Amino acid sequence: MKQYKVGLVGIGAVGTEMVKVLRQRNFPASEIRVLATRDRDEAIAGETFHVRATTPEAFEGLDVVLFAGTEGAKGASKMWGKVATDAGAIVIDNGDDFRMHDDVPLVVPEINADRMEEMVRGGARFIANPNCSTIITLMGIAALHRVNPLRHMTAVTFQSVSGAGRAAIDELELQTRQAAAGEPLAPKAFAHPIVANVIPQIGGPKPEMPGFTTEEAKLTFESRKILGAPDLRIACTCVRVPVFYAHSIAVHAAFERPFTAEEARAVLAQAPGVRVVDDLAAAAYPMPRDFGGQDAVGVGRIRVDPSVENGLALWCCGDNIRKGAALNAVQIAETLIRRGLI
């Protein structure tokens, strides 16, 4: 099997998970070249890597480069993405700087790999990973949309703190201990204490969408692009919750034709990367405690929504650092290899 030289820019929570995923899936990498702000040796996912400072020369000879920026972090791919592609690599970017550019494929391999192939064969060398909540939501919706076109979607997300990076994970751990001891809480990663709380704001105000946040705009516009449905009506509210890993999303959707719950379950049971857990009487449904650390996205609480014509309600849950970031990026690279695009 041909081997590939892989670059990895950034070694935070997502970068560390990318190393784990590459190893766990036996990705054909002859080299994993880790780049960051300075030279040093670093233990990453149980291995010691010599981290190289990010310079133009550091990208030479690489076949694919994964940019592992935390959601909302800007700069790395803007500074180095073109340098990497000019050096001959294909870039897969976890950041949000280029997702909505017309010439950049925005990809969930189980959903729109064919569109990615078309664009890469047409010359695209830069591919974007969607937002974590977008990926997890669409894993539960896209297979249904494929057989019965989606007309409207309302989503409420319940997003874990890991989506905001290592500092947010540490803050929830610290505040949990502080709250148990009756100590005062001093939030830094979030505007308010996160322990025993929910915060109905992720991101800042979106001027083009008065009253909505940047995270809510991502779910709206990215979903339209990935599904190829530019006029799809979407509304969402994104909420941070005191969970370490895995996002959950409550979705209410309306389709072109009616769906029964049984029909929807049958479609989703055949969808790659989806695991249906749906037995209300047995208290069985996807939860972060079960899907954190897992590759699959869970879908459950599937039922007809009688409040809207052709309505369906469902609940999605998936690990935002894995399928919502690192795994999805590695799957994109695997798809490129299978289709002869690298």
The pLDDT-based confidence of 23 (bands split at 50, 70, 90) is: very high
Catalytic residue, chosen from 145, 236, 238, 247, is: 247
| pLDDT at residue 12 in the model | 86
Q: How far apart are CA 329 and CA 161, in angstroms?
A: 20
The pLDDT-based confidence of 148 (bands split at 50, 70, 90) is: very high
Res 246 pLDDT > 90: yes
The pLDDT-based confidence of 71 (bands split at 50, 70, 90) is: very low
What average pLDDT does range 77-94 have in this prediction?
96
What average pLDDT does range 233-242 have in this prediction?
98
For residue 224, the number of C-alpha atoms closer than 13 Å in the C-beta half-sphere is: 14
Helix extents (H) in the chain? 13-24, 76-86, 109-121, 132-147, 166-180, 214-227, 261-269, 288-291, 327-338
What average pLDDT does range 283-302 have in this prediction?
98
Side by side, which strands form the sheet with 274-276?
233-240, 150-159, 247-255, 311-318, 297-305, 274-276
pLDDT tens digits, residue range 27-59? 999 999 999 999 999 998 889 999 999 999 999
| pLDDT at residue 285 in the model | 98
> Mind listing the domains of the chain with CATH numbers?
4-130+325-338 (3.40.50.720), 133-320 (3.30.360.10)
pLDDT tens digits, residue range 251-291? 999 999 999 999 999 999 999 999 999 999 999 999 999 99
47's enclosing H/E stretch is strand 47-53
| pLDDT at residue 69 in the model | 74
What average pLDDT does range 182-209 have in this prediction?
96
Q: Do residues 246 and 315 touch, judged by C-beta distance below 8 A?
A: no
| pLDDT at residue 70 in the model | 57
Res 73 pLDDT > 80: no
Percentage of the chain exceeding pLDDT 90:
94
Catalytic residue, chosen from 132, 238, 316, 317, is: 132
**Active site annotation includes 132:** yes
Nearest residue to 320 (alpha-carbon basis) of 70, 149, 34, 87: 70
Percentage of the chain exceeding pLDDT 70:
98
Which residues, at least 6 apart from 165, have a Cβ–Cβ distance to it below 8 Å?
12, 13, 70, 73, 189
| pLDDT at residue 74 in the model | 59
| pLDDT at residue 1 in the model | 82
Amino acid identity of 164? A
**Active site annotation includes 247:** yes
